Structures are given as C-alpha cells and as structure tokens.
C-alpha cells in the first residue's frame, strides 16, 4: 500500500532517533512519481535518482514526447515506464496522466521538468517562437499541475517540484521569452504552494544554470548562442557547467523535504545568481 510522502518523511526522522527497522528505506520507496521531460538530460537524471535511490526507489512514469528515448530509459531503469505526451496539450496530457496514474496506483510526486529553449535576440524572434516557448515551458507546467493536484489531494498530500531556470531569476540576453516563462514558473510555484498547503502538498522550484544536457548541445549549434552560454559560464564563480545529477539531487531534496518546506526557490548554478 502507498502512504503519503509526509508519513514517510516523519517516519524517517523517527527512524534516525529510534533506530527504526526501516532505517535504510529510501524516502522514495513505494512513491508514485511522474517526471515530465524525463527521457533525456536533467529529467533522465531525476528519473534515475528517484527510481534507484536507497534500497528501493520510486515507481516513475516518464512523460515525454520523445517516445523512443523515454522507452529506452524505461528499459534501463527498474520501476520506470514511459508514457508519450506533449505536456503543452491539455487533452493529450490528461489522457497520459490518467494512464500513468492507473499504472502507478495513484500519485505522490510530480516533477515538472519538461522544457525547451531557443537563444535569439528578442527583436529578431517571431511570435510563433514565443507561442512554442510558452506552450512547453509555462502551459506544460500549468497543465500537469492542474491534473496532478486532485490526485495528490486524494492521497492526503504530496510533492510538486518545478524545474525553472536562473534565467527566470536574473534574466538572460537572447532568452527573454524563455526567462519570462521561467520567472512565471517561479511565481506559479509560490502561488500554488499557498493554495495547496492546507492539503499537505508542497510546491518548490529548482533553478539550474547552464547544465550539460542535449538541450544545451542543441543551443550551442548556433555560434552566437554558444558564445552567450560560454560567457555565462565564465561569469559563474564555479566556472563550469552543472551536471544533470547535481540538479536531480536538489529535486530529490524538495521531493523528500518536510511539509514546512514550501514555496521555495533553489538555484543550482555554481553561484551564478550572486555573480556581478
């Protein structure tokens, strides 16, 4: 039987005080999780982290529109399975999440990770690009959250972790609309945290800086975009890209944190947000 994450978190703290027999149990044992955009990059690292942590990890639905990559990862990670959907399409996502939650036997944890970026000076962009960025980065988060909340309420609580970006905290030239979507995700995180606290649901947000993923490789195909990314890394105190596993660790922290940790935003970007 599944238990709400809250029980597990409080049981874990009891464990450490009382040497409970389940001391080694992963906080994600028996947790039913959905990771959007889980097929590649940061999402894939999150899937591995949740599924494989401790003695036995979460059951994870990888919701991604790259069906082949999602299936390949699911074949490799115990407890993971693939569901194909475009997160920005409410009807399609609704069917996918229904199928995922039947297989998971409920839902405890939603990770809104799916995202996409295209680096280009704002005045050179076409409104069709804005639509695409908003569809994936903002509407995708609204859709999945809207579909998840009633299921988390039915469970007696749960966790939502959103993957935004430091672009949404400090801005980024060539990423104005993307940054607006990510800033929107941060504001959305705080607002939904307020609305759902009484149901035992926490909503928190992780903000990566430049991270070594297929998306960054795609962005760097363009020479000017590559120069922008290199300049951001040079301005970062740590002077390197993040590894996807570092972002996944912060996501796992919020996913297993006590109910009093909510509405928070954590940058994992080598000090980028405090760089001059």
* Residues forming the active site: 178
The residue within the footprint of ligand NAD, chosen from 39, 77, 233, 268 (CB under 6 A), is: 39
- For residue 203, the surrounding DSSP H or E stretch is strand 201-208
Give the nearer residue to ligand NAD in terms of CB position, either 145 or 211: 211
Contact between residue 185 and residue 138 where contact means Cβ atoms under 8 Å apart = yes
Q: Tokens 């749960």 appear where?
A: 158
Question: Using CB under 6 A, which residues numbered 223 to 242 contact ligand NAD?
Answer: none
In the set 4, 57, 140, 183, which binds ligand NAD (CB under 6 A)?
Answer: 140
Q: Which is nearer to ligand NAD, 107 or 111 (CB)?
A: 111
- Asked if 65 is part of the footprint of ligand NAD (rule: CB under 6 A), the reply reads yes
Interaction between residue 270 and ligand NAD (CB under 6 A):
no
- Asked if 116 is part of the footprint of ligand NAD (rule: CB under 6 A), the reply reads yes
What is the total count of residues that contact ligand NAD (CB under 6 A)? 30
Contact call for residues 241 and 229 (beta carbons, < 8 A): no
Q: Of the two residues 156 and 214, which places its CB atom closer to ligand NAD in the complex?
A: 214
Which region, judged by CB under 6 A, interacts with ligand NAD, from 83-91, 169-177, 232-240, 249-257? 83-91
Residue with tokens 């966790």: 159
Residue 87 engages ligand NAD in binding (rule: CB under 6 A): yes
CB atoms within 10 A of CB 18: 9
What is the DSSP track for 202-252? EEEEEEE-SB-SHHHHHHTTSHHHHHHHHHHHHTSTT-SPBPHHHHHHHHH
Q: Is 217 exposed, middle or buried (0-12, 13-18, 19+ CB in 10 A)?
A: exposed
Q: For ligand NAD, which stretch binds (CB under 6 A), given 12-20, 102-110, 142-150, 209-217? A: 209-217
Residue 88 near ligand NAD by CB under 6 A: yes
The nearer residue to ligand NAD, 26 or 165, going by C-beta atoms, is 165
- Among 136, 138, 152, 161, indicate the residue that binds ligand NAD (CB under 6 A): 136
Q: Are 118 and 131 in contact (CB under 8 A)?
A: no
Beta carbon of residue 116, minimum distance to ligand NAD (angstroms, whole number): 5
DSSP string, 69-118: HHHHHHHHSTTEEEEE--TT-HHHHHHHHHHHHHHHTS-SEEEE------
DSSP three-state, residue 35: strand
Q: Are the CB atoms for 76 and 98 separated by under 8 Å?
A: no
Interface residues toward ligand NAD, by CB under 6 A: 36-37, 39-43, 64-66, 69, 86-88, 113-117, 136, 140, 163, 165, 208, 210-211, 213-216
């Amino acid at each position: 039987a599944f238990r709400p994450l809250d029980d597990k978190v409080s049981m874990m703290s009891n464990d450490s005080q009382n040497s409970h027999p389940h001391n080694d149990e992963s906080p994600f044992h028996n947790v039913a999780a959905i990771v959007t955009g889980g097929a590649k990059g940061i999402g894939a690292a999150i899937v591995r982290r949740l599924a494989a942590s401790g003695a036995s990890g979460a059951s994870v639905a990888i919701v991604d529109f790259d069906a082949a990559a999602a299936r390949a990862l699911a074949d490799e990670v115990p407890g993971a399975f693939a569901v194909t959907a475009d997160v920005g399409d409410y009807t399609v996502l609704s069917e996918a999440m229904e199928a995922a939650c039947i297989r998971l036997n409920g839902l405890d944890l939603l990770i809104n990770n799916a995202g996409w970026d295209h680096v280009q000076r704002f005045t050179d962009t076409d409104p069709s690009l804005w639509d695409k960025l908003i569809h994936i980065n903002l509407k995708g988060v609204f859709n999945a959250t809207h579909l998840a909340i009633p299921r988390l309420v039915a469970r007696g609580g749960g966790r939502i972790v959103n993957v935004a970006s430091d672009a949404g905290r400090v801005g980024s030239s060539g990423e104005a609309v993307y940054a607006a979507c990510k800033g929107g995700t941060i504001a959305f995180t705080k607002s939904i945290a307020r609305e759902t606290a009484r149901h035992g649901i926490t909503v928190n947000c992780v903000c990566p800086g430049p991270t070594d993923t297929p998306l960054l490789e795609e962005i760097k195909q363009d020479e000017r975009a590559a120069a922008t990314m290199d300049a951001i890394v040079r301005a970062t105190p740590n002077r390197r890209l993040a590894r996807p596993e570092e972002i996944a660790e912060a996501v796992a922290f919020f996913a297993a944190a006590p109910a009093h940790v909510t509405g928070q935003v954590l940058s994992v970007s080598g000090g980028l947000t405090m760089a001059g």
